[in-house]
């Protein structure tokens, strides 16, 4: 619940605040292109402008509220002796996150770019294979089996079950 917010890292709230501020300002700048109107006859720019202003304000509030905590956290980090173990586990974590994003989103991109050309079956097979690289220790045998199974399953559900006009093999 909203009351027990003591446990959250002030750094995270500070970053969130910065992002909200940026989004708010961005929205306000974009909304300037639309007629504002007046309070009794609001134009299409009015509500987005108000919303942008509110988000930007909330973002600034978050920044101000967490600035002190953020400084303390940084000071503590600088004061403590650099711990190579923590650093390397952080690096492993970040690499893993980057890998997860690269291959999962890469697989989806492959699917999106090929579905209308090589057909559902090959597109899904490619998607599953690319996705599987997101985890370390990928095994070709089980991945290929899964890819074939998913291709058959999606054809059964989406092409024959729901009757979507999907090409199985492309044209």
Partner 1 sequence: MEFIDHLALGFGIALSPETLMYCFIGVTLGTFIGVLPGIGPLATIGLLLPVTFHLPPTEAIIMIAGLYYGAMYGGSTTAILLNLPGTAASVVVALDGHPMAQQGRAGPALVMTTLVSFAAACVAIVIIALFAPPLAQFALRFGSPEYFSLMLAGLLGAAVLVNGSLIKGIAMVILGLLLGMVGQDVTSGIPRFTFGSMSLYDGMGFVVVIIGLFGLAEVLNNVALGEKRERFVGKVPWRDLVPTRKDLRDSAGATARGTGLGSLLGLLPGAGPAMSTFAAYAVEKKVAKDPSRFGKGAIEGIAAPEAANNAAAQTSFIPTLSLGVPGDATMALILGAMMMHGLVPGPQIVTSSPDFFWALIASFWIGNLLLLILNLPLVGIWIKMLSIPYRIMFPAIVTFISIGMYSLHLEIFDVFLAAGFGLVGYLFIKLRCEAAPLLLGLILGPMVEENLRRSMLISRGDFSIFFTRPISLSFLILAVFIIAIVLGPGLYRRWKARAA
Query: Binder to partner 1 among 38, 76, 85, 171 (CB under 8 A)?
Result: 38
DSSP code at position 120: H
Q: Does 115 bind partner 1 (CB under 8 A)?
A: yes
Q: For tokens 């923590």, name the residue.
A: 86
Site for partner 1 in 54-73 (CB under 8 A): 54-55, 58-59, 61-62, 65
Q: Does 136 bind partner 1 (CB under 8 A)?
A: yes
Applying CB under 8 A, what is the total number of residues that bind partner 1?
77
Taking a C-beta distance cutoff of 8 angstroms, is the pair 165, 119 a contact?
no
Query: Binder to partner 1 among 134, 144, 148, 168 (CB under 8 A)?
Result: 134
d(CA 45, CA 38): 10
Query: Binder to partner 1 among 1, 79, 80, 81 (CB under 8 A)?
Result: 1
Q: Does 141 bind partner 1 (CB under 8 A)?
A: no
Residue 114, phi-psi category: left (phi > 0), alpha (psi -120 to 50), beta (remainder):
alpha
In this structure, the chain runs to a length of 171
């Amino acid at each position: 619940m909203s009351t027990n917010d003591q446990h959250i890292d002030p750094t995270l709230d500070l970053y969130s605040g910065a992002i909200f501020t940026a989004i708010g300002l961005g929205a306000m700048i974009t909304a300037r292109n639309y007629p504002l109107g007046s309070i009794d006859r609001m134009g299409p720019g009015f509500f987005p402008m108000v919303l942008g202003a509110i988000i930007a304000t909330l973002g600034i509030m978050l920044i101000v509220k967490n600035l002190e905590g953020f400084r303390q956290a940084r000071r503590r980090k600088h004061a403590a002796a650099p711990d190579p173990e923590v650093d390397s586990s952080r690096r492993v974590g970040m690499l893993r996150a980057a890998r997860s994003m690269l291959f999962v989103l890469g697989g989806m991109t492959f699917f999106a770019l090929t579905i209308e050309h090589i057909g559902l079956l090959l597109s899904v097979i490619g998607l599953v294979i690319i996705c599987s690289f997101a985890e370390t220790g990928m095994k070709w045998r089980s991945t290929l089996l899964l890819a074939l199974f998913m291709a058959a399953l999606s054809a059964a559900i989406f092409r024959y079950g729901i009757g979507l006009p999907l090409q199985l093999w492309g044209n």
